[in-house]
Structure 1
Amino acid sequence: MLKATINKKNTLEVNISNDTIVIDGATFEADFSEHTSGMFNVISNDRSHNAQIIEVNREEKTAIILVNNNKYTVQIKDKFDELLHSLGMDNLNAHKMNDLKAPMPGLVLKVLIAEGQEVKKDDGLLILEAMKMENLIKAPADGVVKSIKVKAQDKAEKNQVLITFV
């Protein structure tokens, strides 16, 4: 069983097997045929529907679908998504940064960002020299720099807070 949320408003229970679709307990016989990649023709109850998959976001489990020239945003959740939600573990991908700590002892060579600056995941934050190697320390997630606790030529100890985020 799947749960499909349409346009963030209507949530339906959907079960698909072979050519039978059950939506909120109502059974529909359907015939699907793919014309080209992402373009489908669906025949159900003697009616033909044209469907096109416009965009898919696998991380968010969403798709934008055009059905008979009407656009729908559909989010799909399966039994595992529901289980993670019930355990409070459904937002593990939404990583929030609080503090960036030094992964190793070293010397701060250069700070690449400023306080108040917005950073994206994998943006370079600073260069830390350790064991005669320059290491680019990157942002683990999106965030805004609250304060920078080090400056160039400062020595950093392992797990020392280097940067804090809002």
Structure 2
Amino acid sequence: MLSTFGAREKAMYEIEINDKSYQVAPKSQKLNTGLINGNPYEIDFIKVKEGEYHLLYNNKSYNVELIKFLEDKKHMELLVNGNKYTVAVKDEFDALLENLGLDMSLGGAEKELKAPMPGLVVDVLVEVGQELKDGEPVLILEAMKMENVLKATGDVKVKSIEVTKGRAVEKNQVLVNFE
């Protein structure tokens, strides 16, 4: 499942499971061996069917069902042997952005979309009055030589658009207002 998030060899991940953090360093793309909080691990897993897996870890058997998966937010909900777990994954890039104070999300169904960093508005993808669902793109902001698609994190309606295509913006500048 981590491979769906784009696992890389020699990568380090911070995985939060029900508010408890783990540092995970897989040794290969297969993710079945590596280190968890500095301790070696080995996991055998097979896909039983779509959304269901069987794992062997520390001589224990686990049945895992994927309940919810939000790839763009690197978040999933799992049912493991009948117990529900919420899992969030951060890689080095996510940690770097967080340390720099750059958040690529809207942070919930807020009333304003603010620029997470200084940049240039490449495109405005919405119109006043348009209703958006969670995860739908709002606008494209170019920053640090990358195009970043800013998305709605809740169901919202566009009240006003405060920027135009081609305009430079500063960090925390209001880009779009929502109802």
Shorter chain as denominator, the TM-score bin is: 0.5 to 0.7
User: Between the two proteins, what is the percent identity of the paired residues?
Assistant: 33
Residue number in structure 2 paired with 1:104: none
Residue number in structure 1 paired with 2:24: 14
Letter in 2 for 1:93: S
| 1:65 to 2:78 alignment | yes
TM-score, normalised to structure 1, is 0.57
Richer in strand (by share): 1
Is the 8 Å Cα contact of residues 5 and 11 (structure 1) preserved in structure 2? yes
Residue number in structure 2 paired with 1:49: 62
Report matched runs for 1:58-137 at 5 Å.
Answer: 58-90=71-103, 92-94=104-106, 96-97=112-113, 120-121=131-132
3-state SS in 2 of match to 1:33: strand
Superposition RMSD on alpha carbons, in Å?
3.2
Q: CA deviation at 1:49?
A: 1.0
Is the 8 Å Cα contact of residues 39 and 50 (structure 1) preserved in structure 2? yes
Mark the CA change 1:66 to 1:165 in structure 2 (over 3 Å): closer, same or farther: closer
Residue number in structure 1 paired with 2:16: 5
Q: CA deviation at 1:66?
A: 1.0
Q: CA deviation at 1:21?
A: 3.6
Is the 8 Å Cα contact of residues 21 and 30 (structure 1) preserved in structure 2? no
Whole-angstrom distance in 2 between the partners of 1:68 and 1:164: 43
Structure 2 spans left out of the alignment, 5+ residues: 1-11, 115-127, 134-150, 161-175
Is the 8 Å Cα contact of residues 21 and 29 (structure 1) preserved in structure 2? yes
Q: Any idea what the Cα deviations from partners look like across 1:60-105, whole Å, max 9, x if unmatched?
A: 2100011111110100000010111111112x3318248xxxxxxx
Structure 1 spans left out of the alignment, 5+ residues: 99-111, 114-118, 123-139, 148-162
Structure ID, larger Rg = 1
Whole-angstrom distance in 1 between the partners of 2:53 and 2:177: 49
Letter in 2 for 1:68: N
The runs of at least 4 aligned residues of structure 1 exceeding 6 Å deviation read: none
Whole-angstrom distance in 2 between the partners of 1:39 and 1:21: 23
Whole-angstrom distance in 2 between the partners of 1:55 and 1:164: 29
| 1:30 to 2:36 alignment | no
